[in-house]
Amino acid sequence: MASEKVCTVLSRLAERVPQVPLYIAGAVSLSVVTCLLFRSRPPRRTRAIAVSKEKVLVLGATSGVGRVIAQQYALRGAYVCVVGRREDKLNEVVQECVELAARNGFEGRGLGVRADISDVNDMIRVRETVEKAWSGLDTVIVAAGVSTLQPLMAVAGVEVSTPDIVGSQASPEGIQHAVNAAQAAVNANYLGSLVAAVTFIPLLTYTSSSPSILLLSSAAAVIPPPTRSIYASTKCASLMLYQALQIEHPSIKFTFFFPGTIEGDFRASAVDNPPGWTTPPKIHEDDPNKNGLKREVVARRCIRAIDRGERNVYIPRHYRVAHVLYWFWPAFIEWKTSVKYNFR
């Protein structure tokens, strides 16, 4: 079965790009075989913690995948604390979780705390709420974040449409605008993850028999995308932070989740609109609500990865091969990302 899948991958690659160097084909083969044959299968975490007793904290639960993850955990009877900045949306999610849990006879297991993941005092308040209600935590889902949608020069107000850019340089205001956009992304995508880790890792360590953290990262953290330079760099930073933390805290099972484009309104969180824009900024990608991954599919896969103790999860699965292939054949992957993001 494994050999058949390897042959399928290689044949498809050969059809699309006839002149594939032998060492690239070997790299693809090695990565696929490793994934299929030698991937570790640790004992299911649910043997240590019953699903109806698991205490779960979802940071960034008012929309998107985070919201669906909270709903899925509530449906199977877990204790769920949802955290987000928008109080109206937060109240909706809490009510949804309470109703879903009640379907299976579980009462009083939903909590909601309005908070900003990058605010230290807010996260301390969340921790105190969880400790008072449950006396501990088993699982932390870090799903909060913001997007960026524009090439970096566009964020600074520079139009680079021809090779000759003389006379089209970034102004001080444009440079500052790019800095402000980057700082907003750093606060949400990196510093928020750092604050969450420092706040909750000790609590997880001391109170859970099988502590787990899932970082909802992005394929953009490992495969560089044009038009997403600020977003990708901040997601990459939080990924490296948590990869280092998994070494420093071996008692905690870390899961790193790398999805492609997901359906929904994540673009609405973009912090990099060009300075002085009066019309909607140019979007460099196809409509995610038509072509993106379904939130329910991603959420279920996240929970399954936590239950199984998986470390690195790519969805779609071929992104794992793309990540490996990037180091052997960067020009091909860069061309593919340019096509995906309609960047010419």
| Residue 222, domain CATH | 3.40.50.720
Residue 158 confidence class, pLDDT cut points 50, 70, 90: confident
DSSP 170: P
User: In the prediction, which pLDDT does 17 show?
Assistant: 47
Q: Would 178 be classed as within a structural domain?
A: no
Tell me: the pLDDT tens digits for 49-96? 999 999 999 999 999 999 999 999 999 999 999 999 999 999 999 999
Residue 31, pLDDT above cutoff 70 = no
Q: Would 323 be classed as within a structural domain?
A: no
Q: Which residues contact 227 (CB under 8 A, 6 or more apart)?
A: 149, 150, 151, 284, 285, 341, 343
Q: Would 329 be classed as within a structural domain?
A: no
Query: What's the length of the chain?
Result: 344
Task: State which residues form the domain around 59.
Answer: 45-150+188-317
Total domains present in the chain: 1
Residue 34 confidence class, pLDDT cut points 50, 70, 90: very low
Q: Would 204 be classed as within a structural domain?
A: yes
CA distance 170 to 155: 10
Mean pLDDT, residues 28-44:
51
Share of the chain above pLDDT 70, in %: 79
The helix (H) or strand (E) run that includes residue 215 is: strand 212-216
Residues 1-13: b if buried by 16+ CB within 10 A, e if exposed: eeeeebeebbeeb
Residue 8 confidence class, pLDDT cut points 50, 70, 90: low
Q: Would 208 be classed as within a structural domain?
A: yes
Q: Would 1 be classed as within a structural domain?
A: no
Mean pLDDT, residues 19-29:
51
pTM: 0.83
Q: Would 247 be classed as within a structural domain?
A: yes
Q: Which residue has the tokens 């490996």?
A: 324
Mean pLDDT, residues 205-230:
95
Q: Would 15 be classed as within a structural domain?
A: no
DSSP 257: E
Tell me: the pLDDT tens digits for 256-272? 999 998 887 666 667 77
HSE-up of residue 166 (Cα within 13 Å, Cβ side)? 1
User: In the prediction, which pLDDT does 261 show?
Assistant: 87
Residue 279 confidence class, pLDDT cut points 50, 70, 90: low
Residue 234, pLDDT above cutoff 80 = yes
Residue 320, pLDDT above cutoff 80 = yes
Residue 168 confidence class, pLDDT cut points 50, 70, 90: confident
Residue 42, pLDDT above cutoff 70 = no
Mean pLDDT rounded to a whole number for the chain: 85
User: In the prediction, which pLDDT does 14 show?
Assistant: 46
